[in-house]
């Protein structure tokens, strides 16, 4: 039975994306086509590539939006495995209504993203990026690179999922006091649960670990930044859309926010002169969505993705959203 399932997998390098063992496992489980695509695929081309498929493996790089606008033209498709953890770019209600299964990678990048969050805290606290810029002559030689220690500071974690919990463990090793708030009431060892208001008022560093679809766009705007402790640093390894960029620039300009680090491109970096100045001063740090990107994550991710595609093909799905 399983051998009649047709699978189409779209990646940057086609079959060579996978190890020989992974590719062989896929080919043993289903009738597979590996298709290469470097960037976003136009909807008509995508429909053409997937029209024979029962199940497919898709990456956000080549398919940045999964929704009914093109899926409605693929009546045969019954399962999608995405190479991603977050599903805020997918119309999950539409899939559910049509009975199309969706598998994702729930935990492949938790350690890397948590370590990246610590890296951002250290970069902001020790001015590592700015020190390099000063040594290289990119900023005036008199630019202050005075830092502060993490030890004894209070970290506020918003969202105690896998990543937030790991950040709490790492912060404890640095001698930080850790507060957290979690809408699902989750807790972790050595962490004091508080409401969001108390967290914002008490934390020297606030780190966001929540998916964008919880509270819609810009969960952090003027109101939240006004309640944040004066001189605090904001860290965002989650989704860029959680934080209103104009509110951040305003808060840094007023001296209320010491700095903001986001694992993305700062959306108004080119549109706002104040933002450009704050980037030059090292107040804004952007790491361009690289927190997940490590050797170990790629290995774990491809293994799990292959598991997920095979599971959909054999009717025994894994890691359903």
Do 19 and 136 fall into the same domain? no
Sheet with 101-103, strands from edge to edge, namely 31-36, 6-11, 55-58, 79-82, 101-103
In the chain, which residues have pLDDT < 70? 1-3, 212-217
45 and 143 inside one domain: no
In this prediction, residue 2 carries a pLDDT of: 44
Number of domains observed in the structure of the chain = 2
pLDDT of residue 165: 96
Is 241 part of any domain? yes
- Domain containing 156 equals 110-286
39 and 137 part of one domain: no
Buried b (16+ CB within 10 A) or exposed e, 283-319: bbbbbeeebbebeebbebbbbbbbbbbbbbbeeebeb
Q: What is the predicted pLDDT for the residue at 239? A: 87
Same-domain status, 152 and 132: yes
For residues 75 and 152, membership in a common domain is answered with: no
Same domain, 19 and 93: yes
pLDDT tens digits, one per residue of 117-143: 999 999 999 999 999 999 999 999 889
Q: What is the pLDDT of residues 64-74, one digit of tens each?
A: 999 999 999 99
* 9 and 142 assigned to the same domain: no
pTM, two decimal places: 0.85
318 occurs within a structural domain: no
Does 321 fall in a domain?
Answer: no
Q: Read off the CATH number of the domain in which 81 is found.
A: 3.40.50.720
The pLDDT tens digits of the residues spanning 36-81 come to 999 999 999 999 999 999 999 999 999 999 999 999 999 999 999 9
């Amino acid at each position: 039975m399983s051998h009649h399932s047709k699978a189409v997998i779209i990646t940057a390098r086609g079959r060579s994306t996978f190890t020989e063992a992974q590719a062989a496992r896929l080919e043993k489980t289903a009738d597979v086509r590996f298709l290469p695509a470097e960037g976003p695929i136009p909807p008509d081309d995508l429909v053409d590539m997937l029209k024979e498929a029962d199940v497919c493996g898709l990456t956000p790089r080549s398919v940045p939006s999964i929704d009914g606008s093109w899926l409605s033209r693929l009546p045969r498709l019954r399962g999608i495995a995405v190479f991603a953890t977050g599903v805020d770019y997918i119309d999950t209600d539409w899939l559910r209504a049509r009975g199309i299964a969706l598998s994702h990678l729930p935990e492949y990048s938790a350690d890397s993203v948590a370590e990246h969050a610590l890296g951002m805290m250290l970069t902001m606290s020790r001015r590592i990026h700015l020190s390099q810029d000063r040594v290289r002559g990119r900023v005036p030689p008199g630019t202050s690179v005075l830092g502060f220690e993490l030890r004894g500071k209070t970290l506020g974690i918003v969202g105690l999922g896998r990543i937030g919990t790991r950040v709490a463990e790492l912060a404890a090793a640095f001698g930080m006091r850790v507060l957290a708030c979690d809408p699902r009431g989750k807790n972790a060892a050595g962490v004091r649960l508080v409401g969001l208001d108390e967290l914002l008022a008490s934390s020297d560093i606030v780190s966001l670990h929540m998916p964008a679809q919880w509270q819609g766009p810009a969960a952090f705007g003027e109101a939240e930044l006004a309640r944040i402790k004066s001189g605090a640093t904001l860290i965002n390894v989650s989704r860029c859309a959680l934080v209103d960029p104009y509110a951040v620039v305003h808060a840094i300009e007023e001296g209320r926010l010491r700095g903001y680090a986001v694992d993305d491109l700062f959306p108004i970096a080119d549109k706002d002169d104040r933002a450009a100045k704050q980037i030059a001063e090292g107040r804004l740090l952007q790491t361009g969505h690289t927190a997940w990107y490590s050797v170990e994550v790629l290995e774990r991710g491809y293994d799990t993705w292959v598991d997920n595609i095979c599971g959909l093909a054999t009717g025994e799905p894994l890691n359903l959203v």
